[in-house]
Structure 1
């Protein structure tokens, strides 16, 4: 239930106060680890991270100034895959920030990196692969990038994302 409150807070307050970032810039969204975000081990439960990332990606789109445009065009983001590396735990009541940025794209997918950080340290790194869909069809990446106002070559994907893409392809081939 608390994520609904956070979603409402995001739309009613935070999105109105976006700083405005470029397509490849880092968006930052702060939270506090509330008791119901934590498990019996007294840290943020692993299942809560994807929900926080949904909010962070929504905020990033708004921070880029693309929210109204994408809603008007009925573009909906869909996560295709994600990989998570937990480094250290986030304690109850600890403030943390999610740094979110587009790290690149290929002919079919865009790739986003989330970093969960506190003044103490880096806690978690997540890579997400996704697409946008409209009317049941995938929005071409070239259209997405053009609507975002980005001009230029795609950035080189980080080496860990390149290896992850290869792993996802292998997984797909072995299970077809």
Structure 2
């Protein structure tokens, strides 16, 4: 239930009062680990991270100035894959930030890095691969990049994303 409240708060308050970042800028949104975000081990439960990341990516689009435009065009973001590295737990009632950044794209997917940070401590780092779809068809990456007005070559993907991308391809090939 608290995620509905957080989504409502995000869409009707935070988005209207957010900062402005560039297409390749870093978005930051703050949260507090509420008791119902935590499990019996007294830390944020693993299942809560992806839900909070969804909200942070929505906020990132708003800070980029793209959220309203993409909604109007009926472009819906779809996560294709994600990989998590948990480093330190987040305790109940702790404040933390989720830093979200588009780190690059290839011919089919865009790649986002999301970090959970509090008081200069990294708690979790996540890479997300996704696409936008419209009417059940993928929006080509070139169309997305053109729509946002980005000019120039795509940034080089970080080495860990390149290796992860190769790993995902290997999994796909071995399981066909």
Structure 2 length normalisation: TM-score? 0.99
1:81 deviation in Å? 0.2
Aligned pair count reads: 176
Aligned to 1:99: 99
Aligned to 1:11: 11
1:166 deviation in Å? 0.3
Provide the C-alpha distance between the structure 2 equivalents of 1:31 and 1:80, rounded to a whole number of angstroms: 25
Q: Does the C-alpha gap of structure 1 residues 91 and 120 become closer, same or farther in structure 2, counting only changes over 3 Å? A: farther
1:169 matches 2:169: yes
Aligned to 1:110: 110
DSSP 3-state at the match of 2:165 = helix
1:146 deviation in Å? 1.1
DSSP 3-state at the match of 2:162 = helix
Aligned to 1:65: 65
- Across the aligned residues of Structure 1 and Structure 2, the Cα RMSD in angstroms comes to 0.6
Aligned to 1:147: 147
Structure 1 length normalisation: TM-score? 0.99
Provide the C-alpha distance between the structure 2 equivalents of 1:2 and 1:19, rounded to a whole number of angstroms: 24
Render the CA deviation track for 1:14-43: whole Å, top value 9, x for unaligned. 000111110000000000000000000000
Moved over 4 A (4+): none
Provide the C-alpha distance between the structure 2 equivalents of 1:146 and 1:69, rounded to a whole number of angstroms: 13
